[in-house]
Structure 1
Amino acid sequence: MRYTVAVWSLYVTLGVTVLPVFAQYNSHFGRNKIQYEDFDWNVLQTEHFDVYFYPEMQELAEHGAAFAEEAYAELQNRFNFSVTRRVPIVFYSSQLHFKQTNITDGFIPDGVGGFYEFLKGRVVIPANGNLHRFRRVVRHEMVHVFTMHKIARVYRDYRIPMDRLPPLWFTEGLAEYWSGPQDYQHEMIMRDAIFANYLVPLENMYRISGSYVMYKEGEALCRFISENYGEDKLLALIENAWIDRDFRKVIEYTLQEDLQEISIQWQQWLRKTYYPKLDAAQSPTLLTEGLSTEGFNSKPAFYQTKSGQRQVLFTGNHGGYSNVYYVQFDSTYAPIDQPGVLIRGERNSQFESFHLLDSRMSVSEDGRLAFVTKSGEADVIHIYDLESGSIGPIYGFDGMLALYSPSWSPDGMHIAFVAIDQSGFIDLYVYDIEGDRLRRLTNDSYDERDPAWSPDSHYLVFSSDRTSKGFENSYNLFTYELETGTIDYVTYGSQHDFSPSWSPDGSQIIYTSTKKDSMGRYGGQDLYVIDTKPTPPVVALADTKIHEIRPPSPGLRWKKRLTELTTAIYDPVWTEDHQVIFSAFENYRFTVRALGGLDTLLQRPVSLHPEPQVIEPQEPWTFPRIEATSETDRLRYRRRYGLDIAQGQISSSAVWGTGGAAVLAFSDLLGNDRFFLTIFNTSEYTGDFLRSLNVNISRLHLNRRANVGYGVYRYGGLRYDLTDPDAPTEFPRFWEEVWGGFGAVSYPLSMFRRIDVATSLSWDHKEVPQRRIDRQALLLTNQISLVHDNALFGYNGPQDGWRGRISAAYTTDLLYSNVNYITLEADIRHYLRIARNVTFASRALGRMNHGREARLWFMGGSWDLRGYPLFDVRGKKAWFTSHELRFPLVENPSAYVPPLAILGIVNLRGALFFDAAHTWNDRYNERVRQIYAGETLGSTGFGFRLNLFGGFVLRYDLGYRFRDAFKSRESNLFRQFFFGFDF
């Protein structure tokens, strides 16, 4: 949305009068970043921070302020440095609110915990219902604050510009390391990287830059440096960053060892750490049956149809959009066929996005699947009838932002779930479908996860950090009795117990758990089973053999560990025929698997799990807060503007001569209100300076759903315009002066569709001496467009989905009627994904300008009609079609030739293409040879696409041109080199 609003609103008018090439090829596609909420921002001022929040989340913001000050005090000592300016921190109460921020223009995917924005030093963090996680993210971002300010100070001291920074693996790894002890996810990733052999050595760390593995490897490397060279060396790496642009040399200088040797020692240190843990552990692949092993697969749910067919439903991403999949299997739990797509996601507003790794699904006994998607401003619960294959009711709740893990009651009349409200805290709810009543079961600052109904409908079991061990970030299992509201422990201890699921008879609960060993490192996340009621033991109490029998004890529960894996198990489901369906993490992907023989596993010797006996009331744990106790502590947000961009440029060309330009951009701290000032000059001599001075001043309001832009401008001087019908065909250069203003509104209907409206009013004076034209006009232009875009992008361009734009405009001279024409345009692009890396792309385009002084369209070159000179095919009306088969030639060249990575080569792809087009002015077949008008043209051939640094694509096409409605083919092979993404 930022791309299509900020840029589009500026050139709605300017593109017609100044930048015709840019305006025509930039077709205003793109998804929409929507501001659903008009936040009432307040500011909490602490000793070192300005904390921005809205009233509904004040308590959470007060916790965050305390976390920030806590981190400041600690990091001030670590860095031996004080941040001398106040740091702005912007808190959001949920990921859904966080996604609406204007502080960054880009889209924010699920899983991003926050960011530090370098331009104005802003920290932006959402809550996710977990205060421990919230605290860690605050500390993580505070490390970034200190790191960047420390580097800036070092560079100032050595008079070095801020044009170099340490690599991302170091800055993010250091932030992870100093934000707290390694967590269970870090241990899972590192064990898997060692076991599956995808650990990237230090010297090749750039190859995984920006990935989740990079964060964890960077954290492990910082820990290795701290433990083996001293923690002071981490600070020394920052203080020595000025020495060389190549950070590898900085490492060698600081640690006084060769980089290769450091890398080898680090890898050996990791293997010594993790190999003992892997010795007795098993791989999920060897232990269990794979049901879906391609791509990412999670949150399985089991259902047996009325016809007896067993199937597992799960959310997943197999290299494209996220969907709900299903896989059918036989009585041995072997898959009958490949997984199929049940519900297509991320293509429309109904299923805008899934919480792919966060929200479980549930199937009722009569075959209704309950699952959560983002739909507009909040999450909703969808019901899908598995027997009829139809979408049923949709349930959304006022004040509820994020919903997770719906669970059907056995009678199919209630749904339990957890939700984050405006306050940013997560609680447990039950919805009565028949009575349309929502019951809130908890109301506190503790984290609740994954509720599941008991078979008798009397209890909910869930995971929570409300345990007295919760201050250590431990999670235990609890039951909630629906009749009395009583919450009881099921498990207790300093571990992470997640994803509970009841046995069919209700006597046991299966769940996953991981805990720290004696060295403080988490082990694998394994399957456990525990009895639901304390019962006296009746079997031997030993790991491998009988050695004693204890008398009955009513305060003990049977607890059994079913697996000992190298990595982690998630979301187990206990089926009617005593199988366990779950997702497992291995080889850096999530798979859905089945574990059979549960009855045999349950016969293993067991250990006793003491049920906690709370003899004296214990105070619930909590975190510190900095409360806004007075009006001076809590202030209303007032807009203050700061400079974002200041850039100047001097250029010289054969057409324009020498010119200069400057661009200034300002915005408020929240990025909601933006000003742009552009000044450039195209004069050919000093006396023509003021006459050729060009100025544009514009403003954008982005804080509401309808984004509004407006501005004024003055353009004057020589102009080169291929689209002007009065300009000489051979060399369309003339003088023009324009004074005017414009306004634009972009209203998103959904993330994928919007309406753009624009208007401009300008005084236009044009002189074309070659044709003795001296025309004045007061031009009014109105335009409306409907845009759709759900295309899925790859490195080189779209590879799935479709995008389209339909536009109509009318331009008229209000004073003299010298100009009066209409504009119609339709551009449809479709992408059919034949295989994971193979796409068939099609484009159909129709354009028309009709009336007095109607402008010309143009084509030619690698961006559309290949084989023809760039922009040489012109006419007032045009149609164009293109079809292209895109496929990989070498997907990752640097894997075979590592030095290519230094050159930024990401991939080399190929394309077979066919293009056809026709432009005309008044009559369809009236030929104007200088601009190829009145003739159907075409080309076909082969193209190479070389992607550099992930954002720049070089294009080389060769093939044959066709003329005269494909009746003749030119004998010479054309070759054409250019740049740009695929359409």
Structure 2
Amino acid sequence: VSSPIPFIIFKSHYDFRQTNIITELIDPGVGGFSEVIKSRMVIPFDGSWLRFKKVITHELVHVFTYAVLYSEGLESMLSASAIPPMWFMEGLAEFETREFDPIGHMMLVDAVVENRIDPLENLTDFGMTGNVFLAYQESHSLLRYIAQTYGEEKVSMLLRKFKKSAGLEGTIKQSLGVDIKTLETGWIKSLRQAYYPEVARRRIASDDSQQIFKDQVIPAAPSFSPGGDLAAVTIIKDGILCIALIKTSDGTIVKYITEGMRGIKFEDLSFEAGPAYSKDGSRIAFIAKCKNKDVIFLFDVFNNKLLKTIKVDLDNISSLCFAQANDNIILSGLKNGESNIYRFNIPTKGLEKITHGMDRQPAYSSAGNKIAFIREQGTATDLCVLNMDTAEVTRLALPDLPKMDPFWSQDGNIVYCSCLLNKTYNIWAVRLQENPMNGVTTNAQVTDYFGGAFNGGYMGDKLSFSSYEKGGNAVYFHEKPLNIVWIQPEIKDSTTANIAASLAIKKTDGNITPYKTRLTFDWRRMDMLYSSANGFAGIGELAMSDVLGNHRFIWRGDASSSIEGDTNFILAYLYLGKRASYEVDISDWSNSYRFLDEESKEKKYGISGNVSYPLDIFRRVEFGLSSKRVVTNYILHKSPTVRENINLVSADIIHDTTVWSWDGPIGGSRARIGISDTIGLSNNDLDFTNLEIDLRKYIKAGNRSAMAFQLSGKTSTGRDQTQFILGNGGIIVANENGRIKRYFVDEFRGGTELRGKAFAKGSFEFRFPLIDTIQFSLPMSIRNIRSLVFFDVGAAWQEGKPPVFRKAITENNIRGAFGWGIRSNLWIFPIRIDYARGTDFINSTSGAVTHFSLGYDF
């Protein structure tokens, strides 16, 4: 790395998700990223210094990797002869952190036992795996296997070879001396040799516990009603997180508490923080993300309604529970880089900070005014108890291991938590004396399952926990009383004093230099083309931005060696530093069109501006204003030059709750309504008003399959109303009244064409994986080939209302199309091939038509 690495830190994940360094929406589960253009590291602080350190190491490795592979930035990336597979890029970053993620290790062990390890061809692109987080752990274990088997120097050799090699197979052969198949076989064998003895030695949860909530994916800890007959759980339904009320006896879902709320009441739920039942069973509290803040929702269980939304002045809320009095909620939250425990009084809306360290995961004791929590201090995590009456904090004596998920026994004499031992979290217990502030007597390991035991709690009088197995968190409970063998701890320095003040984060004064905007190049690209008809042409693009991505300049243009010497360009400036995004551009662009024996040249130039204002993460409004001059010269048959002005004002509203996977949209919906109108300032100004609507719905239909629906339409009025065409897509050039005109064509498969001042069309697609990999004898392959079946119907008309179906058939204004298609990425190009037949709903279908295009599906 030859230059300083920009390191951008956000104080919370909410601020991080709003970064302008990349313009894509960031998933709540993303802990940071690094990018190749300016070698920037971008990471939020989530309240844990241990996780923060690991993410820094991970992203720093990526920056170093980019510097080796793409020393010239984006230009060298686009021209690279070989792009390393994801198992190498992410595996190397995880390998250099030196430690397996504990939850990830449990997932890896489970995958080995269940024979679900992904083959290397799937790990080349994580989109072909069913579990991306597992793919990270598999990649980590593969890089560790390479280092242990072939030598750690081979890892760096692979990196250097990837920069020069023309293919994956050749790189592996040259670096390791084996082919990919041999590497994969040895790696999987080493995993089985490492984990099968561990499985044989240790127990599984079903040996002495009973599973509940079968066939449900439950990522966070469930919360049980006082009697244990009901549970509030976070589950995944059609790819979307929701809160459900479930019977513990048979797993029947009583109600989806948050059904219909996403996109209206809140943006999303917390993936890690589960809901909380009140002590009297009347209320359920849960955390949701709303307008760049975590908020708490209270749900009335008995009256089946949402009681209220609680807003707190915190950057993030990571967990919560009810105190004995239902008017108080105990929560852990992040504020200005400090994670602490807070008490929120519901009637008064008062928020009180009750700890002063790096504290999280509070658990309130039903038998006393005490709170157990996890405290992070340096490289260690401790299980602590806060006495609310005396404000004293006690560090409980447990092995010096990472800890999480504390909870209490029903009598308040035992505190449990999950401790990391043998790379797996299992439940440990600490028994308190009659006066717990005078020390701790004994502790014990309660479980030792190879799938772990975490998310612990009590379901009535039964101990409940989660264990990772068969690709998900399975929830169990102990039917019989626990047989705990207590031992005298040999841990020194069990603290009984009030240690809260000593753990407050120290703030130091330092030289702080205010941020200054300084633009640097993102990429510069120029390609030269030549044809006998048009001569030489250069096509170029140049982009500049500042480190934070708030200011962006983009120039695109081409220069032709024709006699006229036209220079085409678009220069745009974008400002993204505020909630509203602003864009202004000036352009001057010429195109030539030929129709039969006539040829024309169109020159369009002018200025335009656009403002996009997000109402929330799902909704935004956009406003545009432009003024363009269009000059048309007729070349072969001399006709008068036509000069027209288009002064256009537009407004759009978008509502988008789409849920994305690596393969595209799998859930949610998208709606867009737009209107544009011209402003007449002179006789040469065009006069038209256009209205457009686009509705989309996605339904998950399997692990990697989905159904997609679209209904769209456009209409135009005015003296110069627009003519819309449903056809093969692209541009159609036609001679109308002695003038050559071009039309943008909306895609409609089947080989037919409909034209009118208004149109409507509907599409249905069922999208599914077809072939994961095609490997050629040359060092290249085509991966993740997907397929779809579709049915389209469309109609166009000139005047009046949309025709009814039967009348449209009679007047030949409606068409249908059906068929199947293939989708794949060839290098960076998204390829679309559709095989379609058209019908007018009366006669037999037309002949098959093959459509080829570049782009993405709706």
Range with greater deviation from structure 2 (139-148 or 99-108): 139-148
| 1:419 positional shift | 0.9
- Take 1:268 and 1:802, find their aligned partners in 2: how far apart are those partners? 44
Unmatched 5+ residue regions in structure 1? 1-82, 516-521, 537-553, 721-727, 926-931
Q: Secondary structure at the match of 1:191?
A: helix
**1:790 and 2:690 equivalent?**
no
Q: Among residues 217, 222, 237, which one is paired with 1:301 in the alignment?
A: 222
Letter in 2 for 1:704: K
- Take 1:154 and 1:652, find their aligned partners in 2: how far apart are those partners? 27
Letter in 1 for 2:333: A
Letter in 2 for 1:849: S
Letter in 2 for 1:493: P
C-alpha change, 1:900 and 1:130, in structure 2 (3 Å) is: farther
Q: Among residues 571, 585, 608, which one is paired with 2:488 in the alignment?
A: 608
C-alpha change, 1:442 and 1:902, in structure 2 (3 Å) is: farther
- The match for 1:688 is 564
Q: 1:133-212 counterparts in 2 under 5 A?
A: 133-151=51-69, 162-200=80-118, 205-206=123-124, 208=126, 211-212=132-133
- Take 2:456 and 2:462, find their aligned partners in 1: how far apart are those partners? 10
Q: Among residues 355, 360, 364, which one is paired with 1:453 in the alignment?
A: 364
- The match for 1:762 is 628
- Take 1:566 and 1:456, find their aligned partners in 2: how far apart are those partners? 32
**1:409 and 2:323 equivalent?**
yes
- The match for 1:629 is 510
Q: Secondary structure at the match of 2:92?
A: helix
* Root mean square deviation, CA, Å: 3.9
C-alpha change, 1:212 and 1:873, in structure 2 (3 Å) is: same
- The match for 1:570 is 454
- Take 1:294 and 1:971, find their aligned partners in 2: how far apart are those partners? 44
**1:866 and 2:749 equivalent?**
yes
C-alpha change, 1:285 and 1:643, in structure 2 (3 Å) is: farther
Is the contact between residue 741 and residue 761 of structure 1 (CA under 8 Å) also seen in structure 2? Answer: yes
Letter in 1 for 2:356: N
- Take 1:844 and 1:675, find their aligned partners in 2: how far apart are those partners? 35
| 1:616 positional shift | 11
- Take 1:836 and 1:352, find their aligned partners in 2: how far apart are those partners? 24
| 1:846 positional shift | 3.1
Q: What TM-score do the two structures reach when normalised by structure 2?
A: 0.87
C-alpha change, 1:942 and 1:136, in structure 2 (3 Å) is: same
- The match for 1:431 is 344
Is the contact between residue 845 and residue 881 of structure 1 (CA under 8 Å) also seen in structure 2? Answer: yes
Q: Among residues 484, 500, 503, which one is paired with 2:390 in the alignment?
A: 484
Letter in 1 for 2:28: D
Q: 1:30-49 counterparts in 2 under 5 A?
A: none
Letter in 2 for 1:815: S
**1:92 and 2:15 equivalent?**
no
- The match for 1:8 is none
- The match for 2:243 is 324
**1:234 and 2:115 equivalent?**
no
Alignment: residue pair count: 828
- The match for 2:850 is 976
- The match for 1:944 is 821
- The match for 2:33 is 115
C-alpha change, 1:892 and 1:450, in structure 2 (3 Å) is: farther
| 1:356 positional shift | 0.9
- Take 1:168 and 1:106, find their aligned partners in 2: how far apart are those partners? 20
Q: Secondary structure at the match of 2:433?
A: coil
Is the contact between residue 266 and residue 288 of structure 2 (CA under 8 Å) also seen in structure 1? Answer: yes
- Take 2:411 and 2:447, find their aligned partners in 1: how far apart are those partners? 22
Range with greater deviation from structure 2 (892-901 or 113-122): 892-901
Q: Secondary structure at the match of 1:113?
A: coil
Q: 1:608-757 counterparts in 2 under 5 A?
A: 608-609=488-489, 612-614=492-494, 629-630=510-511, 634-649=512-527, 659-681=537-559, 686-689=562-565, 692-719=566-593, 734-757=600-623
- The match for 1:397 is 312
- The match for 2:165 is 244
C-alpha change, 1:263 and 1:783, in structure 2 (3 Å) is: closer
Q: Among residues 512, 525, 533, which one is paired with 2:418 in the alignment?
A: 512
- Take 1:819 and 1:934, find their aligned partners in 2: how far apart are those partners? 31
| 1:417 positional shift | 0.7
Range with greater deviation from structure 2 (621-630 or 192-201): 621-630
- Take 1:379 and 1:958, find their aligned partners in 2: how far apart are those partners? 48
| 1:109 positional shift | 1.3
Identity of aligned residues (%): 21
| 1:555 positional shift | 5.5
Letter in 2 for 1:485: A
- Take 2:32 and 2:802, find their aligned partners in 1: how far apart are those partners? 57
- The match for 1:56 is none
Richer in strand (by share)? 2
Letter in 1 for 2:373: F
| 1:822 positional shift | 1.5
Is the contact between residue 556 and residue 608 of structure 1 (CA under 8 Å) also seen in structure 2? Answer: no
- Take 2:802 and 2:29, find their aligned partners in 1: how far apart are those partners? 54
- Take 1:923 and 1:437, find their aligned partners in 2: how far apart are those partners? 58
Q: Secondary structure at the match of 2:348?
A: coil
Q: Secondary structure at the match of 2:424?
A: coil
- Take 1:865 and 1:897, find their aligned partners in 2: how far apart are those partners? 33
Is the contact between residue 278 and residue 326 of structure 2 (CA under 8 Å) also seen in structure 1? Answer: no
**1:880 and 2:780 equivalent?**
no
Q: Secondary structure at the match of 2:58?
A: helix
Q: Secondary structure at the match of 1:852?
A: coil
C-alpha change, 1:213 and 1:621, in structure 2 (3 Å) is: farther
Q: What TM-score do the two structures reach when normalised by structure 1?
A: 0.76
Q: Secondary structure at the match of 1:566?
A: coil
C-alpha change, 1:838 and 1:626, in structure 2 (3 Å) is: closer
Letter in 2 for 1:506: G
C-alpha change, 1:301 and 1:655, in structure 2 (3 Å) is: farther
Q: Deviations over 1:533-557 (max 9, x none)?
A: 3699xxxxxxxxxxxxxxxxx8653
| 1:354 positional shift | 1.9
- The match for 1:26 is none
- Take 1:424 and 1:371, find their aligned partners in 2: how far apart are those partners? 23
| 1:397 positional shift | 1.9
- Take 2:492 and 2:33, find their aligned partners in 1: how far apart are those partners? 40
C-alpha change, 1:360 and 1:498, in structure 2 (3 Å) is: farther
Letter in 2 for 1:440: K
| 1:948 positional shift | 4.1
- The match for 2:738 is none
Letter in 2 for 1:819: L
Q: Among residues 343, 354, 365, which one is paired with 1:441 in the alignment?
A: 354
Q: Secondary structure at the match of 1:605?
A: coil
**1:290 and 2:214 equivalent?**
no
Letter in 2 for 1:605: V
| 1:620 positional shift | 10
Range with greater deviation from structure 2 (124-133 or 180-189): 180-189
- Take 1:955 and 1:893, find their aligned partners in 2: how far apart are those partners? 15
